[in-house]
Amino acid sequence: MPNKSNHYAVILAGGSGTRFWPMSRASYPKQFLKIVGNTSLLQQTVARIISTIKPRNIYIVTNKKQAKDVATQLKGSGVPKANIMCEPEGKNTAPAVLWACTTIYRKNKNAIFAILPSDHLITKKKDFIKCLKSAYQLADQDYLVTFGIKPTRPDTGFGYLKTRKIKGDVYKVERFTEKPSAKIATRYVQSKNYFWNSGMFVWKCATLMAKYKKHARKIYNLIGENNSDQAIKRNWKKLPNISVDYAILEKDKDVVAVAARDIGWSDLGSWDSLCEALGADKNENIIQGDVLIHNSQNNYVSSSKKLIALSDVDDLIVVDCDDALLICRKDASQNVKVIVEKLKKDKRKEI
pLDDT in tens, 207-236: 999 999 999 999 999 998 888 989 999 999
The parent domain of residue 116 ranges over: 4-266
Average pLDDT over residues 243-259: 96
Do 116 and 153 sit in the same domain of this protein? yes
Q: Using one digit for the tens of pLDDT, what is the confidence trace for 268-303?
A: 988 988 998 898 999 999 999 999 999 999 999 999
Which of 233, 248, 266 lies at the terminal end of a domain, its last residue? 266
41 pLDDT higher than 60? yes
Work out the pLDDT band at 40, boundaries 50, 70, 90. Answer: very high
Distance linking the first and last C-alpha atoms of the chain: 48
Do 235 and 286 sit in the same domain of this protein? no
Do 164 and 62 sit in the same domain of this protein? yes
Residue 319 lies in a domain: yes
Predicted confidence at residue 277, as pLDDT, reads: 87
Rounded mean pLDDT of the chain?
94
Average pLDDT over residues 121-145: 97
Query: What's the predicted TM-score (pTM) here?
Result: 0.92
Q: Using one digit for the tens of pLDDT, what is the confidence trace for 304-347?
A: 889 999 999 999 999 999 999 999 999 898 889 899 999 999 99
192 pLDDT higher than 90? no
Do 175 and 300 sit in the same domain of this protein? no
26 pLDDT higher than 90? no
Do 214 and 340 sit in the same domain of this protein? no
Predicted confidence at residue 12, as pLDDT, reads: 97
258 pLDDT higher than 70? yes
* CATH at 152: 3.90.550.10
Do 229 and 287 sit in the same domain of this protein? no
Residue by residue, what is the 3-state secondary structure of the chain? CCCHHHEEEEEECCCCCCCCCCCCECCECHHHCCCCCCCCHHHHHHHHHCCCCCHHHEEEEEEHHHHHHHHHHCCCCCCCHHHEEEECCCCCHHHHHHHHHHHHHHHCCCCEEEEEECCCEECCHHHHHHHHHHHHHHHCCCCEEEEEECCCCCCCCCEEEEEEEEECCEEEEEEEEECCCHHHHHHHHHCCCEEEEEEEEEEEHHHHHHHHHHHCHHHHHHHCCCCCHHHHHHCHHHCCCCCHHHHCHHHCCCEEEEECCCCCEECCCCHHHHHHHCCCCCCCCEEECCEEEECCECCEEEECCCCEEEECCECEEEEECCCCEEEEEHHHHHHHHHHHHHHHHCCCCCC
Average pLDDT over residues 250-273: 93
Residue 204 lies in a domain: yes
Q: Using one digit for the tens of pLDDT, what is the confidence trace for 235-246?
A: 999 999 999 999
Which of 227, 243, 266 lies at the terminal end of a domain, its last residue? 266
Residue 351 lies in a domain: no
Do 279 and 339 sit in the same domain of this protein? yes
Which of 247, 266, 285 lies at the terminal end of a domain, its last residue? 266
Measured between alpha carbons, how far is 118 from 200 in angstroms, rounded to an integer?
Answer: 10
Predicted confidence at residue 296, as pLDDT, reads: 98
Do 201 and 145 sit in the same domain of this protein? yes
- 19 vs 118, higher pLDDT: 118
Predicted confidence at residue 2, as pLDDT, reads: 58
Do 313 and 235 sit in the same domain of this protein? no
Q: Using one digit for the tens of pLDDT, what is the confidence trace for 315-325?
A: 999 999 999 99
1 pLDDT higher than 60? no
Residue 302 lies in a domain: yes
Do 176 and 110 sit in the same domain of this protein? yes
The tally of domains found in the chain comes to 2
Do 111 and 206 sit in the same domain of this protein? yes
Q: Using one digit for the tens of pLDDT, what is the confidence trace for 61-97?
A: 999 999 999 999 999 999 999 999 999 999 999 999 9
Q: Using one digit for the tens of pLDDT, what is the confidence trace for 43-67?
A: 999 999 999 999 999 999 999 999 9
